[in-house]
């Protein structure tokens, strides 16, 4: 809880700042009287410093005298503006203290709530990932059974062409890609949890995929040949031939 004295303190500070930055008429007159002559000499000092050549003793003495005149004006500026500048620094410190009275409460409060929202979002993300994994396993199993059913049907067919067609259908059976979006806080765009993006396979054109694999060995690395199914298919139909696959009979 913010103490009442703190509230009164920041109001008093603002009043003090307002008084501190005011320049009295006599002070303003002194500043103008001191700075106006110096201002009139600025162009002369700059031009002389740039154009003067120091090549001998006389030049060096003239330059030294000019340096003394410049430093004398520097002292005038430093002395005349010291009071106003000190008050401005004091004002900066005072305003900083006023700001701290508010931000020292507001920022930690926002941070505390933000951490709680992030914790909730991350918990929901873990739940969504677990549910996605569970449903994806179901879809993977459904696809596997579909492939196995078509492969079994192919094994019963006598026509090599129909067998190959059915096996191609089996290979085309792909699991549905499950996507579940985890809930996020709606008060802040995108929520507070850092978003992550992943790529998923949307669909596969088996014809284009296999045609590309013929030309690119890198794509071939994504193809898994299930030799066990090929061997079972050959055992069912000894006349089975598949382009690119060589069978041999062995004794076990």
Whether residue 236 lies inside any domain: the answer is: no
Per-10-residue mean pLDDT of the chain, 252 residues long, equals 50 56 77 88 93 94 95 94 84 85 90 90 91 91 89 85 84 84 72 60 77 81 78 79 83 66
| Whether residue 140 is found in the same domain as residue 163 | yes
| Whether residue 86 is found in the same domain as residue 137 | no
Whether residue 45 lies inside any domain: the answer is: yes
Residue bearing tokens 């596997």:
144
| Whether the predicted model's global pTM rises above the 0.75 cut | no
| Whether residue 113 is found in the same domain as residue 219 | no
| Whether residue 141 is found in the same domain as residue 173 | yes
| Whether residue 106 is found in the same domain as residue 129 | no
Whether residue 131 lies inside any domain: the answer is: yes
Q: How many domains does the chain have?
A: 2
* Dihedral angle sign, alpha carbons of residues 114, 119, 123, 128: positive
Residue 242: φ, ψ to 5°: -130, 125
Domain end, chosen from 118, 148, 173, is at 118
Domain end, chosen from 86, 118, 150, is at 118
**Closest CA relative to residue 176, chosen from 208, 203, 145, 207:** 203
pLDDT at 7: 45
- C-alpha angle 127-129-133 in degrees, rounded to nearest 5: 120
| Whether residue 114 is found in the same domain as residue 125 | no
- Residue 68's domain comprises 4-118
Whether residue 207 lies inside any domain: the answer is: yes
| Whether residue 145 is found in the same domain as residue 56 | no
Whether residue 239 lies inside any domain: the answer is: no
| Whether residue 19 is found in the same domain as residue 8 | yes
- C-alpha angle 66-68-69 in degrees, rounded to nearest 5: 65
Domain end, chosen from 118, 140, 157, is at 118
Whether residue 242 lies inside any domain: the answer is: no
| Whether residue 88 is found in the same domain as residue 136 | no
Count how many Cα atoms sit within 13 Å of the Cα of residue 249 in the half-sphere of its side chain.
6
Q: What is the CA radius of gyration of the chain?
A: 43
Whether residue 250 lies inside any domain: the answer is: no
| Whether residue 108 is found in the same domain as residue 17 | yes
| Whether residue 105 is found in the same domain as residue 163 | no
Whether residue 76 lies inside any domain: the answer is: yes
User: What Cα–Cα distance (Å) separates residue 71 from each residue in 4, 45, 87?
Assistant: 51, 11, 24
pLDDT at 192: 59
How far is 30 from 35, CA to CA, in rounded Å? Answer: 9
| Whether residue 24 is found in the same domain as residue 125 | no
pLDDT at 2: 44
pLDDT at 4: 46
Which residues, 6+ apart, have CB-to-CB distance to 76 below 8 Å? Answer: 34, 35, 38
């Amino acid at each position: 809880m913010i103490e009442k004295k703190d509230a009164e303190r920041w109001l008093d500070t603002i009043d003090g700042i307002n008084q501190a930055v005011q320049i009295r008429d006599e002070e303003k007159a002194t500043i103008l009287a001191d700075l106006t002559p110096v201002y009139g000499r600025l162009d002369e000092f700059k031009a002389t410093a740039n154009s003067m050549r120091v090549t001998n003793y006389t030049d060096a003495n003239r330059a030294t005298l000019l340096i003394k005149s410049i430093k004398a004006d520097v002292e005038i500026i430093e002395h005349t503006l010291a009071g106003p500048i000190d008050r401005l620094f004091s004002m900066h410190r005072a305003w900083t203290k006023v700001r701290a009275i508010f931000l020292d409460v507001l920022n930690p409060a926002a941070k505390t709530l933000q951490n709680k929202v992030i914790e909730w979002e991350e918990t929901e993300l873990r739940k969504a990932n677990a549910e996605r994994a569970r449903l994806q396993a179901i879809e993977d199993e459904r696809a596997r059974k579909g492939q196995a059913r078509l492969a079994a049907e192919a094994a019963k067919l006598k026509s090599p062409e129909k067998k190959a067609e059915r096996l191609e259908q089996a290979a085309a059976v792909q699991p549905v890609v499950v996507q579940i979006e985890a809930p996020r806080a709606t008060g802040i765009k995108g929520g507070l949890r850092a978003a992550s993006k992943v790529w998923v396979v949307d669909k596969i054109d088996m014809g284009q995929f296999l045609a590309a694999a013929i030309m690119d060995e890198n794509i071939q690395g994504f193809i898994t040949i299930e030799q066990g199914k090929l061997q079972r298919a050959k055992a069912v139909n000894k006349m089975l031939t598949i382009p690119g696959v060589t069978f041999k009979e062995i004794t076990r």
